[in-house]
Amino acid sequence: MTRLNAIYDFVNTVICFGFMLAVYFGAGLFVCHRLFIRNPQGIVGYIIGTAILVVLAFHAFCVINLIFWLVKEAWDNRRKKKDAEVDSTEDESLEEPSQPELACLQDQDHPLSADEIASFSMPEAAVSSGGKGEEPAAKEERKHHHHSGCAVVIGVLLIIAGAFVDIYGSWSEDAKLFKQGVAAYEAGDYENAVQRLLQTTGYARARYFLGVCYYEGKGVEKDWDKAFHWFHEGAKQENDPAREAVRDAQYWLGVCFEQAIGTKRDMDKALICWVKAAKLGHAEAQCRVGEIAITEFGEYDNGIEWLRKSAEQGNPFAMRFLGFVYEEKDKTESADWYAKAATALYKAAKQDDPRAMLDLARLYRDGKGVSKDPAEAKRWFEQAAKMYLALAEQGDPDAQCMIGEFYVKGIGVKQDAAEGVKWYQNAANQGFMKGEALLGLMYFEGADVERDLTEARKWLEKAAAQGDSYAQELLAESFPDSEK
């Protein structure tokens, strides 16, 4: 049992000692590596990194010497033990001579005291081990342990200092790269912006800008999977101080769920994202939430409240929808909102917003908020068509669907169904769900193009696979054997 306890104590000591060494050397080498490789603080990083490396090398040397000393000590003790056993065996037959009593010790009248007499029998023990006569070897050993302890303390302090320098330096370097990335993005240097923002993805704004770049193909090849990923990552940082970036990411994540960008269509998740963005004050998200509350759930009071919040931020689309909502409830209120919408839409249209141009054209066409003016309506429809065409030629799939619809219906351009199908095809080829559904519907109906049920089924199935509910219903009715 004693041997088992000894083995247990030995193993436990080795494990603890090894763990402490691993933590100490691991932390030291990690900090040293970071300071040498990344070197965020220049010469300071190099100096501290070098000092840590020297101290670690010294301690490694001490550990190796200690191991050799322990092995040697164990070996020497084993040899001494064996020699002692041999000597005791040889001397067992010899009778140890008796120590004769000194006569002086028996003489009670001896002139020396008992202590003085005893001193003659212990000449080697005249000085205690802790007195001034301490042996040089003991002094040297104590001095060695003192220096080793100081070296360990210095090593720990250097590692702590290095960690502080590394953390602070990394933070300052990241902050610098992030500012450079944002400046490059705002200046239109998207390739340079992406390179820097990819190194500072801890910032919510960096994640949001990366999502936009991958969504629109700015500075990088268009990649909707990565766009969805970065919008999702940005939307998760709800406690980030950059609330505007978080709410923008949440809004665009909702758009991804709505239009099946990098994921399947899921309007429930889209609405959750938009509600979060709306609560953070995103005007477009507030407008979307208000419209859905009214059109999908019939919650007029809740919907109007969100639309008003959006309209108070100057969103013209929320104003126009409020005009529509109040048409049946309050004609005066409706006319007031339509007038506000017309003014706001005109300002946005003058800033080349194609959506504003399209809605303003409809107001002039229907005479809501403005006097009915077919000529003015036509002018704005044509302006909207030009803007959407420019965006479509740049590869924007939503714009491609819009200009396709313009050609199919003859809005702002000469009606040309074949040209409309071409733009639907361009959007569908990018995997855009809306383009796939519209193209499939065109081939299925065959009203403006030659009917082709094979092509219709092919594109409707693609749209249905991404979650388009209308495509799913049409397939179920017209192609019951279709894979859903």
pLDDT tens-digit readout, 336-347? 999 999 999 999
- DSSP 8-state class, residue 201: T
Query: Has residue 151 got a pLDDT over 80?
Result: no
Does the pLDDT value for residue 126 go beyond 50?
no
The residue that leads in pLDDT, 29 or 438, is 438
List pLDDT tens digits, range 192-221. 999 999 998 988 999 999 999 999 999 999
Q: How confident is the model at residue 63 (pLDDT cuts 50, 70, 90)?
A: confident
Distance CA 192, CA 209 (A): 12
Give percent of the chain above pLDDT 90. 57
Cα(279)–Cα(67) distance, rounded to whole angstroms? 65
Q: How far apart are CA 84 and CA 91, in angstroms?
A: 11
The per-residue pLDDT of the chain, averaged, comes to: 82
Q: What is the pLDDT of residue 480?
A: 81
Report which of 418, 140, 433 is spatially closest to residue 258, judged by C-alpha positions. 433
Secondary structure string (H, E, C) spanning 70-120 = HHHHHHHHHHHHHHHHHHHHHHCCCCCCCCCCCHHHHCCCCCCCHHHHHHH
Q: What is the mean pLDDT of residues 397-418?
A: 95
87 burial level (CB within 10 Å; 0-12, 13-18, 19+): exposed
Q: What is the pLDDT of residue 373?
A: 97
| pLDDT band at residue 306 using 50, 70 and 90 as cut-offs | very high
Residues 432, 401 contacting (CB under 8 angstroms)? yes
The set of residues, in sequence order, having a beta carbon less than 8 Å from that of 29 and lying 6+ positions away, is 56
- Rounded distance between C-alpha atoms, residue 270 and residue 256, angstroms: 8
| pLDDT band at residue 130 using 50, 70 and 90 as cut-offs | very low
Amino acid making up residue 21: L
- pLDDT per residue over 311-324, tens digit each? 999 999 999 999 99
Domains and CATH numbers, the chain: 1-73+146-184 (no CATH), 243-313 (1.25.40.10), 334-393 (no CATH), 395-484 (1.25.40.10)
For residues 114-119, average pLDDT: 53
Tens digit of each residue's pLDDT (9 = 90 or more) over 260-288:
999 999 999 999 999 999 999 999 999 99
